[in-house]
Amino acid sequence: MSETVVYRKRRNVELFGVILAALFGIGGLLLTHWNRDGGVSTEVLLICGGWLALCLVAHILVRVFISFADPVILPAVLALNGLGLAMIHRLDMSLATSGATTQLIWTLLGIAIFGLILGFMRDYRVLDGIPYVLFLIGMVMLLLPLIPGLGSEKFGSRIWIQLGSYSFQPAEVAKILLAISFASYLVEHRDLLTMAGPKIGKLQLPRLRDLLPILIMWATALVVLVFENDLGTSLLFFGLFIMMLYVATSQVRWLVISGGLFVAAAVVVSQLSHVQTRISSWLDPFSDFDVNYQVIQAQYGMAWGGLFGRGWGLGRPQMIPVASSDFISAAIGEELGIVGLIALIILYGLLISRGLKTALAMPDDFGKLLAAGFSFVFGLQTFAIIGGVTRLLPLTGLTTPFVSQGGSSLVCNWAIIAIIMVISHEARRPRTTEKAPIVADFAEDRTQIIDVNEK
Protein backbone atom coordinates (compact mmCIF):
# COMPACT_ATOMS: atom_id res chain seq x y z
CA MET A 1 0.00 0.00 0.00
CA SER A 2 1.13 3.56 -0.58
CA GLU A 3 -0.22 7.03 0.04
CA THR A 4 -0.33 9.84 -2.49
CA VAL A 5 0.43 13.35 -1.27
CA VAL A 6 -0.64 16.03 -3.70
CA TYR A 7 0.99 19.48 -3.81
CA ARG A 8 -0.34 22.25 -6.01
CA LYS A 9 1.51 25.41 -6.88
CA ARG A 10 -1.67 27.41 -7.70
CA ARG A 11 0.23 29.65 -10.07
CA ASN A 12 -2.59 29.71 -12.61
CA VAL A 13 -4.92 30.77 -9.82
CA GLU A 14 -2.51 33.61 -9.11
CA LEU A 15 -2.37 34.51 -12.81
CA PHE A 16 -6.15 34.85 -12.91
CA GLY A 17 -6.02 37.00 -9.78
CA VAL A 18 -3.22 39.17 -11.21
CA ILE A 19 -5.20 39.86 -14.39
CA LEU A 20 -8.30 40.67 -12.36
CA ALA A 21 -6.27 42.94 -10.07
CA ALA A 22 -4.73 44.74 -13.05
CA LEU A 23 -8.24 45.42 -14.37
CA PHE A 24 -9.08 47.35 -11.19
CA GLY A 25 -6.46 49.97 -11.95
CA ILE A 26 -7.12 49.90 -15.70
CA GLY A 27 -10.85 50.28 -15.13
CA GLY A 28 -10.25 53.31 -12.92
CA LEU A 29 -8.09 54.98 -15.57
CA LEU A 30 -10.51 54.28 -18.43
CA LEU A 31 -13.64 55.29 -16.53
CA THR A 32 -12.03 58.53 -15.35
CA HIS A 33 -11.19 59.60 -18.90
CA TRP A 34 -14.52 58.40 -20.27
CA ASN A 35 -16.50 60.32 -17.64
CA ARG A 36 -14.46 63.49 -17.93
CA ASP A 37 -13.50 63.55 -21.61
CA GLY A 38 -16.14 61.38 -23.24
CA GLY A 39 -13.50 59.08 -24.69
CA VAL A 40 -10.15 57.39 -24.21
CA SER A 41 -6.96 58.48 -25.96
CA THR A 42 -4.29 56.19 -27.40
CA GLU A 43 -1.86 57.41 -24.73
CA VAL A 44 -4.15 56.19 -21.96
CA LEU A 45 -4.51 52.80 -23.66
CA LEU A 46 -0.73 52.50 -23.82
CA ILE A 47 -0.49 53.31 -20.10
CA CYS A 48 -3.08 50.62 -19.37
CA GLY A 49 -1.17 48.12 -21.49
CA GLY A 50 2.05 49.00 -19.71
CA TRP A 51 0.43 48.49 -16.30
CA LEU A 52 -0.92 45.08 -17.34
CA ALA A 53 2.55 44.09 -18.60
CA LEU A 54 4.10 45.19 -15.30
CA CYS A 55 1.62 43.08 -13.35
CA LEU A 56 2.43 40.04 -15.51
CA VAL A 57 6.17 40.60 -14.97
CA ALA A 58 5.61 40.47 -11.20
CA HIS A 59 3.69 37.21 -11.64
CA ILE A 60 6.44 35.71 -13.81
CA LEU A 61 9.03 36.57 -11.14
CA VAL A 62 7.00 34.61 -8.60
CA ARG A 63 6.49 31.72 -11.02
CA VAL A 64 10.23 31.46 -11.70
CA PHE A 65 11.75 31.98 -8.24
CA ILE A 66 9.17 31.02 -5.59
CA SER A 67 6.68 28.79 -7.34
CA PHE A 68 5.02 27.58 -4.11
CA ALA A 69 4.31 31.04 -2.70
CA ASP A 70 0.83 32.04 -1.58
CA PRO A 71 -1.26 32.71 -4.72
CA VAL A 72 -3.41 35.48 -3.16
CA ILE A 73 -0.82 37.92 -1.81
CA LEU A 74 0.46 39.28 -5.13
CA PRO A 75 -3.00 39.90 -6.68
CA ALA A 76 -4.10 41.77 -3.53
CA VAL A 77 -1.01 43.98 -3.63
CA LEU A 78 -1.38 44.72 -7.35
CA ALA A 79 -5.06 45.59 -6.90
CA LEU A 80 -4.15 48.11 -4.18
CA ASN A 81 -1.24 49.52 -6.16
CA GLY A 82 -3.37 49.86 -9.31
CA LEU A 83 -6.22 51.59 -7.49
CA GLY A 84 -3.72 54.03 -5.99
CA LEU A 85 -2.21 54.82 -9.39
CA ALA A 86 -5.65 55.35 -10.92
CA MET A 87 -6.76 57.72 -8.14
CA ILE A 88 -3.49 59.68 -8.20
CA HIS A 89 -3.84 60.07 -11.97
CA ARG A 90 -7.43 61.21 -11.51
CA LEU A 91 -6.24 63.89 -9.03
CA ASP A 92 -3.49 64.91 -11.48
CA MET A 93 -6.14 65.68 -14.08
CA SER A 94 -7.79 68.20 -11.76
CA LEU A 95 -4.65 69.67 -10.22
CA ALA A 96 -2.45 69.70 -13.34
CA THR A 97 0.28 67.71 -11.56
CA SER A 98 2.29 64.64 -12.55
CA GLY A 99 2.12 62.53 -9.39
CA ALA A 100 0.97 59.38 -11.21
CA THR A 101 4.03 59.39 -13.47
CA THR A 102 6.33 59.60 -10.45
CA GLN A 103 4.32 56.93 -8.64
CA LEU A 104 4.57 54.63 -11.65
CA ILE A 105 8.35 55.04 -11.67
CA TRP A 106 8.47 54.14 -7.98
CA THR A 107 6.25 51.14 -8.70
CA LEU A 108 8.73 49.99 -11.35
CA LEU A 109 11.55 50.34 -8.82
CA GLY A 110 9.52 48.53 -6.16
CA ILE A 111 8.81 45.56 -8.44
CA ALA A 112 12.48 45.51 -9.49
CA ILE A 113 13.53 45.25 -5.82
CA PHE A 114 10.79 42.65 -5.35
CA GLY A 115 12.40 40.60 -8.13
CA LEU A 116 15.93 41.05 -6.74
CA ILE A 117 14.86 39.79 -3.31
CA LEU A 118 13.11 36.78 -4.83
CA GLY A 119 16.15 35.99 -6.97
CA PHE A 120 18.93 36.43 -4.43
CA MET A 121 17.32 35.74 -1.04
CA ARG A 122 16.16 32.19 -1.63
CA ASP A 123 16.36 31.43 2.11
CA TYR A 124 14.92 34.04 4.47
CA ARG A 125 16.96 32.61 7.36
CA VAL A 126 19.99 34.58 6.13
CA LEU A 127 18.30 37.54 7.88
CA ASP A 128 18.60 35.82 11.26
CA GLY A 129 21.57 36.04 13.60
CA ILE A 130 22.47 39.75 13.80
CA PRO A 131 19.62 41.32 15.81
CA TYR A 132 21.72 43.92 17.61
CA VAL A 133 23.40 45.21 14.45
CA LEU A 134 20.08 45.51 12.64
CA PHE A 135 18.51 47.13 15.70
CA LEU A 136 21.26 49.74 15.88
CA ILE A 137 21.02 50.53 12.17
CA GLY A 138 17.24 50.69 12.37
CA MET A 139 17.32 53.07 15.33
CA VAL A 140 19.80 55.31 13.54
CA MET A 141 17.55 55.38 10.47
CA LEU A 142 14.54 56.16 12.62
CA LEU A 143 16.22 59.13 14.34
CA LEU A 144 18.17 60.35 11.30
CA PRO A 145 15.76 63.24 10.52
CA LEU A 146 16.70 64.86 13.84
CA ILE A 147 20.22 65.63 12.58
CA PRO A 148 20.44 69.38 11.82
CA GLY A 149 20.97 70.10 8.13
CA LEU A 150 19.97 66.60 7.07
CA GLY A 151 16.38 66.24 8.21
CA SER A 152 13.62 68.40 6.76
CA GLU A 153 10.11 69.20 7.93
CA LYS A 154 7.03 68.75 5.74
CA PHE A 155 3.38 69.09 6.74
CA GLY A 156 4.41 69.69 10.35
CA SER A 157 6.46 66.47 10.79
CA ARG A 158 10.23 66.16 10.71
CA ILE A 159 10.45 62.69 9.18
CA TRP A 160 12.18 63.40 5.87
CA ILE A 161 15.77 63.29 4.66
CA GLN A 162 16.53 65.73 1.87
CA LEU A 163 19.17 64.75 -0.70
CA GLY A 164 19.29 67.40 -3.39
CA SER A 165 15.89 67.56 -5.05
CA TYR A 166 14.88 64.15 -3.67
CA SER A 167 13.56 63.25 -0.24
CA PHE A 168 12.71 60.01 1.49
CA GLN A 169 11.47 58.74 4.83
CA PRO A 170 14.17 56.65 6.57
CA ALA A 171 11.50 55.30 8.94
CA GLU A 172 10.23 53.15 6.06
CA VAL A 173 13.59 51.37 5.90
CA ALA A 174 13.76 51.28 9.69
CA LYS A 175 10.51 49.33 9.98
CA ILE A 176 11.99 46.52 7.87
CA LEU A 177 15.26 46.41 9.80
CA LEU A 178 13.59 46.61 13.21
CA ALA A 179 11.01 43.93 12.39
CA ILE A 180 13.83 41.55 11.40
CA SER A 181 15.79 42.54 14.49
CA PHE A 182 12.80 41.98 16.81
CA ALA A 183 12.10 38.55 15.29
CA SER A 184 15.71 37.42 15.68
CA TYR A 185 16.01 38.77 19.24
CA LEU A 186 12.74 37.26 20.42
CA VAL A 187 13.52 33.83 19.01
CA GLU A 188 16.84 33.87 20.86
CA HIS A 189 15.42 35.09 24.20
CA ARG A 190 11.89 33.69 24.14
CA ASP A 191 12.39 31.17 26.94
CA LEU A 192 13.85 33.78 29.27
CA LEU A 193 11.10 36.26 28.47
CA THR A 194 8.50 33.57 29.12
CA MET A 195 9.74 31.87 32.28
CA ALA A 196 12.35 34.05 33.99
CA GLY A 197 11.45 36.46 36.77
CA PRO A 198 10.27 36.48 40.40
CA LYS A 199 6.81 35.25 41.34
CA ILE A 200 4.29 36.82 43.70
CA GLY A 201 1.69 34.13 44.19
CA LYS A 202 0.53 33.18 40.71
CA LEU A 203 1.76 36.44 39.23
CA GLN A 204 5.15 36.22 37.54
CA LEU A 205 7.02 39.51 37.25
CA PRO A 206 9.61 40.17 34.53
CA ARG A 207 13.25 40.77 35.34
CA LEU A 208 14.53 44.32 35.00
CA ARG A 209 16.95 43.28 32.23
CA ASP A 210 14.01 41.85 30.27
CA LEU A 211 12.13 45.12 30.62
CA LEU A 212 15.00 47.06 29.04
CA PRO A 213 14.04 46.42 25.36
CA ILE A 214 10.47 47.61 26.03
CA LEU A 215 11.73 50.72 27.78
CA ILE A 216 14.10 51.46 24.88
CA MET A 217 11.26 51.21 22.33
CA TRP A 218 8.97 53.23 24.56
CA ALA A 219 11.57 55.98 24.94
CA THR A 220 12.31 55.97 21.21
CA ALA A 221 8.62 56.26 20.41
CA LEU A 222 8.40 59.29 22.71
CA VAL A 223 11.44 60.88 21.06
CA VAL A 224 9.90 60.42 17.62
CA LEU A 225 6.59 61.83 18.80
CA VAL A 226 8.02 64.84 20.65
CA PHE A 227 10.87 65.89 18.37
CA GLU A 228 9.73 64.61 14.96
CA ASN A 229 6.04 65.42 15.54
CA ASP A 230 5.13 62.02 14.11
CA LEU A 231 2.38 60.29 16.03
CA GLY A 232 1.95 57.54 13.43
CA THR A 233 5.56 56.34 13.35
CA SER A 234 5.89 56.28 17.13
CA LEU A 235 2.67 54.27 17.41
CA LEU A 236 3.74 51.89 14.63
CA PHE A 237 7.12 50.93 16.07
CA PHE A 238 6.05 50.61 19.68
CA GLY A 239 2.98 48.59 18.65
CA LEU A 240 5.06 46.37 16.34
CA PHE A 241 7.50 45.42 19.09
CA ILE A 242 4.77 44.71 21.64
CA MET A 243 2.78 42.58 19.20
CA MET A 244 5.81 40.49 18.27
CA LEU A 245 6.72 40.13 21.96
CA TYR A 246 3.24 38.82 22.72
CA VAL A 247 3.27 36.42 19.73
CA ALA A 248 6.67 35.08 20.81
CA THR A 249 5.82 34.56 24.51
CA SER A 250 1.99 34.36 24.72
CA GLN A 251 2.39 36.23 28.01
CA VAL A 252 -0.45 38.65 28.83
CA ARG A 253 1.79 40.41 31.36
CA TRP A 254 3.74 42.02 28.52
CA LEU A 255 0.54 43.50 27.16
CA VAL A 256 -0.35 44.81 30.62
CA ILE A 257 3.09 46.38 31.11
CA SER A 258 3.04 47.89 27.63
CA GLY A 259 -0.48 49.20 28.14
CA GLY A 260 0.65 50.90 31.33
CA LEU A 261 3.59 52.53 29.56
CA PHE A 262 1.26 53.63 26.74
CA VAL A 263 -1.18 55.25 29.16
CA ALA A 264 1.66 57.03 30.97
CA ALA A 265 3.01 58.33 27.67
CA ALA A 266 -0.47 59.40 26.54
CA VAL A 267 -0.90 61.52 29.67
CA VAL A 268 2.43 63.25 29.06
CA VAL A 269 2.18 63.85 25.32
CA SER A 270 -1.45 64.97 25.47
CA GLN A 271 -0.08 68.32 26.63
CA LEU A 272 1.90 68.81 23.40
CA SER A 273 0.36 71.30 21.00
CA HIS A 274 0.45 69.11 17.88
CA VAL A 275 -1.09 66.19 19.78
CA GLN A 276 -3.84 68.45 21.10
CA THR A 277 -4.49 69.57 17.52
CA ARG A 278 -4.88 65.95 16.39
CA ILE A 279 -7.29 65.24 19.26
CA SER A 280 -9.27 68.39 18.49
CA SER A 281 -9.57 67.49 14.80
CA TRP A 282 -10.80 64.06 15.85
CA LEU A 283 -13.40 65.06 18.43
CA ASP A 284 -14.53 68.46 17.13
CA PRO A 285 -13.05 69.41 13.75
CA PHE A 286 -15.41 72.40 13.33
CA SER A 287 -13.94 74.04 16.42
CA ASP A 288 -11.15 75.43 14.20
CA PHE A 289 -12.08 75.48 10.52
CA ASP A 290 -8.67 76.72 9.32
CA VAL A 291 -6.55 74.22 11.24
CA ASN A 292 -8.85 71.25 10.57
CA TYR A 293 -9.73 72.19 6.98
CA GLN A 294 -8.29 68.94 5.56
CA VAL A 295 -10.33 66.74 7.87
CA ILE A 296 -13.50 68.76 7.27
CA GLN A 297 -13.17 68.58 3.48
CA ALA A 298 -12.62 64.83 3.69
CA GLN A 299 -15.82 64.41 5.71
CA TYR A 300 -17.80 66.50 3.24
CA GLY A 301 -16.36 64.55 0.31
CA MET A 302 -17.22 61.13 1.71
CA ALA A 303 -20.69 62.35 2.71
CA TRP A 304 -21.23 63.62 -0.86
CA GLY A 305 -20.05 60.29 -2.25
CA GLY A 306 -22.62 58.42 -0.20
CA LEU A 307 -23.05 54.68 -0.53
CA PHE A 308 -22.00 54.16 -4.16
CA GLY A 309 -19.93 57.29 -4.84
CA ARG A 310 -20.02 59.98 -7.52
CA GLY A 311 -18.13 57.81 -10.02
CA TRP A 312 -14.55 57.91 -11.30
CA GLY A 313 -13.70 61.49 -12.29
CA LEU A 314 -17.09 62.91 -11.27
CA GLY A 315 -16.37 63.96 -7.71
CA ARG A 316 -14.22 66.79 -6.38
CA PRO A 317 -11.56 65.06 -4.27
CA GLN A 318 -9.02 67.67 -5.38
CA MET A 319 -10.61 70.01 -2.82
CA ILE A 320 -9.05 67.90 -0.04
CA PRO A 321 -5.52 69.18 0.66
CA VAL A 322 -2.84 66.55 -0.07
CA ALA A 323 -5.53 64.11 -1.19
CA SER A 324 -3.06 61.90 -3.04
CA SER A 325 -1.10 61.13 0.11
CA ASP A 326 -2.60 61.01 3.61
CA PHE A 327 -6.22 61.33 2.50
CA ILE A 328 -6.34 59.17 -0.60
CA SER A 329 -8.82 56.84 1.11
CA ALA A 330 -11.17 59.85 1.48
CA ALA A 331 -10.82 60.54 -2.27
CA ILE A 332 -11.67 56.90 -2.98
CA GLY A 333 -14.63 57.12 -0.60
CA GLU A 334 -15.95 60.18 -2.46
CA GLU A 335 -15.77 58.72 -5.96
CA LEU A 336 -16.38 55.02 -5.20
CA GLY A 337 -18.56 55.52 -2.14
CA ILE A 338 -18.68 53.60 1.11
CA VAL A 339 -18.91 50.40 -0.93
CA GLY A 340 -15.62 51.21 -2.67
CA LEU A 341 -13.95 52.11 0.63
CA ILE A 342 -15.13 48.85 2.19
CA ALA A 343 -13.78 46.96 -0.84
CA LEU A 344 -10.42 48.66 -0.25
CA ILE A 345 -10.46 47.56 3.39
CA ILE A 346 -11.37 44.00 2.33
CA LEU A 347 -8.32 43.92 0.05
CA TYR A 348 -6.14 44.90 3.00
CA GLY A 349 -7.87 42.28 5.14
CA LEU A 350 -7.15 39.66 2.49
CA LEU A 351 -3.48 40.65 2.33
CA ILE A 352 -3.05 40.68 6.11
CA SER A 353 -4.91 37.41 6.64
CA ARG A 354 -2.74 35.60 4.07
CA GLY A 355 0.37 36.95 5.76
CA LEU A 356 -0.85 35.68 9.13
CA LYS A 357 -1.77 32.34 7.55
CA THR A 358 1.82 32.12 6.32
CA ALA A 359 3.02 32.78 9.87
CA LEU A 360 0.82 29.99 11.23
CA ALA A 361 2.11 27.54 8.61
CA MET A 362 5.80 28.18 9.31
CA PRO A 363 7.63 25.38 11.13
CA ASP A 364 10.39 27.64 12.52
CA ASP A 365 9.94 30.49 14.99
CA PHE A 366 11.95 33.12 13.11
CA GLY A 367 9.88 32.82 9.95
CA LYS A 368 6.69 32.73 12.00
CA LEU A 369 7.54 35.94 13.87
CA LEU A 370 8.81 37.74 10.78
CA ALA A 371 5.68 37.00 8.73
CA ALA A 372 3.43 37.94 11.65
CA GLY A 373 5.37 41.15 12.29
CA PHE A 374 5.25 42.34 8.69
CA SER A 375 1.54 41.48 8.47
CA PHE A 376 0.91 43.49 11.61
CA VAL A 377 2.76 46.46 10.06
CA PHE A 378 0.24 46.53 7.22
CA GLY A 379 -2.65 45.97 9.60
CA LEU A 380 -1.71 48.74 12.01
CA GLN A 381 -0.94 51.21 9.22
CA THR A 382 -4.24 50.55 7.49
CA PHE A 383 -6.27 50.73 10.69
CA ALA A 384 -4.54 53.90 11.86
CA ILE A 385 -4.74 55.92 8.63
CA ILE A 386 -8.22 54.89 7.44
CA GLY A 387 -9.46 55.17 11.01
CA GLY A 388 -8.00 58.68 11.17
CA VAL A 389 -9.51 59.76 7.84
CA THR A 390 -12.97 58.50 8.85
CA ARG A 391 -12.55 60.01 12.37
CA LEU A 392 -12.71 56.66 14.09
CA LEU A 393 -9.28 57.54 15.55
CA PRO A 394 -7.10 60.65 15.80
CA LEU A 395 -5.25 61.23 12.55
CA THR A 396 -1.74 59.74 12.67
CA GLY A 397 -0.21 60.72 9.32
CA LEU A 398 0.82 57.20 8.28
CA THR A 399 0.64 56.29 4.60
CA THR A 400 -2.02 54.00 3.15
CA PRO A 401 0.14 51.03 2.05
CA PHE A 402 0.53 50.70 -1.77
CA VAL A 403 -2.19 53.30 -2.39
CA SER A 404 -0.83 56.62 -1.10
CA GLN A 405 1.58 58.63 -3.20
CA GLY A 406 5.12 58.27 -1.88
CA GLY A 407 8.21 56.54 -3.20
CA SER A 408 9.98 55.44 -0.02
CA SER A 409 6.82 53.87 1.40
CA LEU A 410 5.91 52.09 -1.84
CA VAL A 411 9.37 50.64 -2.50
CA CYS A 412 9.85 49.44 1.09
CA ASN A 413 6.38 47.87 1.13
CA TRP A 414 7.23 45.92 -2.04
CA ALA A 415 10.39 44.70 -0.29
CA ILE A 416 8.29 43.52 2.66
CA ILE A 417 5.92 41.67 0.33
CA ALA A 418 8.90 39.93 -1.27
CA ILE A 419 10.10 38.68 2.12
CA ILE A 420 6.61 37.50 3.11
CA MET A 421 6.28 35.61 -0.17
CA VAL A 422 9.70 33.98 0.24
CA ILE A 423 8.54 32.82 3.68
CA SER A 424 5.23 31.57 2.25
CA HIS A 425 7.11 29.63 -0.43
CA GLU A 426 9.09 27.91 2.31
CA ALA A 427 5.91 27.19 4.28
CA ARG A 428 4.02 25.69 1.33
CA ARG A 429 6.69 23.80 -0.57
CA PRO A 430 6.98 20.01 -0.15
CA ARG A 431 9.75 18.71 2.06
CA THR A 432 11.73 15.64 1.12
CA THR A 433 12.21 12.95 3.74
CA GLU A 434 13.50 9.38 3.70
CA LYS A 435 9.96 8.10 3.97
CA ALA A 436 8.67 10.43 1.30
CA PRO A 437 11.17 10.74 -1.57
CA ILE A 438 10.35 12.97 -4.50
CA VAL A 439 9.72 10.81 -7.53
CA ALA A 440 8.43 13.35 -10.04
CA ASP A 441 9.34 16.87 -11.08
CA PHE A 442 6.89 19.70 -10.87
CA ALA A 443 5.19 20.94 -14.01
CA GLU A 444 3.02 24.02 -14.07
CA ASP A 445 -0.17 23.42 -12.12
CA ARG A 446 0.33 19.65 -12.21
CA THR A 447 0.85 17.58 -9.11
CA GLN A 448 3.92 16.06 -7.58
CA ILE A 449 3.39 12.54 -6.39
CA ILE A 450 5.28 11.47 -3.28
CA ASP A 451 5.12 7.75 -2.53
CA VAL A 452 5.16 6.95 1.13
CA ASN A 453 6.25 3.31 1.56
CA GLU A 454 4.26 1.18 3.93
CA LYS A 455 6.00 0.67 7.23
- CA neighbor of 158 nearest in space, from 207, 226, 209: 226
pLDDT digits (tens, 9 = 90+) for 25-84: 999 999 999 999 888 888 889 999 999 999 999 999 999 999 999 999 999 999 999 999
pLDDT band at 151 (very low <50, low <70, confident <90, very high): confident
- CA neighbor of 89 nearest in space, from 405, 360, 344, 400: 405
Question: Is pLDDT above 50 for 399?
Answer: yes
174 contacts 142 by C-beta, under 8 angstroms = yes
Chain centroid offset of residue 436 CA = 38
**What span, in angstroms and rounded, lies between the C-alpha atoms of 188 and 186?**
5
- 137-146, 161-170, 237-246, 367-376: the lowest-pLDDT one: 161-170
Q: Give every CB contact of residue 88 below 8 A, 6+ residues apart in sequence.
A: 99, 100, 103, 324, 328, 405
Whether the full predicted model's pTM is greater than 0.75, yes or no, is yes
**What is the pLDDT, as a whole number, of residue 118?**
94
257 contacts 203 by C-beta, under 8 angstroms = no
78 contacts 53 by C-beta, under 8 angstroms = no
**What span, in angstroms and rounded, lies between the C-alpha atoms of 293 and 115?**
41
pLDDT digits (tens, 9 = 90+) for 97-148: 888 999 999 999 999 999 999 999 888 888 887 888 888 888 888 888 888 7
Mean confidence (pLDDT) of the chain = 84
Q: Per-residue pLDDT averaged across 329-339, rounded?
A: 95
Q: Per-residue pLDDT averaged across 242-256, rounded?
A: 82
Domain boundaries, the chain: 128-428
Q: Per-residue pLDDT averaged across 271-291, rounded?
A: 79
